[in-house]
Amino acid sequence: MINNRRLDEMYYSNPEACIPQELVIENVRLAAAYVPYQFMCEVFSPIESLAAGTAFPELFSPYNRKDNENRPCRLSEC
């Protein structure tokens, strides 16, 4: 939901833009897992793709060692 809102802002303001993924999944059933389809838009150059590990900018999600973010929050912080 949060992601969709962010994508709405990114793409719906520009109707010409290529949207690299399905935004609404229809006919969902209970007790099933769904990943939205990706659609082909922009791709990195070959050398950028090798450096990133993917040709797709929308799939590139680098890790930056936020190990501590996974610890449970303490009562005072929640």
Partner 1 sequence: MWSYDKILQYPIKIKTPNPGLATKIISQYGGPDGELAASLRYLSQRFSMVTPEAIATLNDIGTEELAHLEMIGTMVHQLMKNATVEEIESSGAGAYYTDHGRGVYPQAASGTPFTAAFLQVKGDPIVDLTEDLAAEQKARGTYEWLINQTDDPDVLEPLKFLREREVVHYQRFGEALRKVQDYLQEPRLFIMPKPDFLRSNELNR
Q: Are 22 and 36 in contact (CB under 8 A)?
A: yes
CA 36/CA 22 separation, integer angstroms: 5
Report, in Å, the least distance between residue 8 CB and partner 1. Answer: 21
Q: How many other CB atoms are there within 10 angstroms of residue 38's CB atom? A: 12
47 touches partner 1 (CB under 8 A):
no
52 touches partner 1 (CB under 8 A):
yes
44 touches partner 1 (CB under 8 A):
no
76 touches partner 1 (CB under 8 A):
no
Nearer to partner 1, 11 or 49 (CB): 49
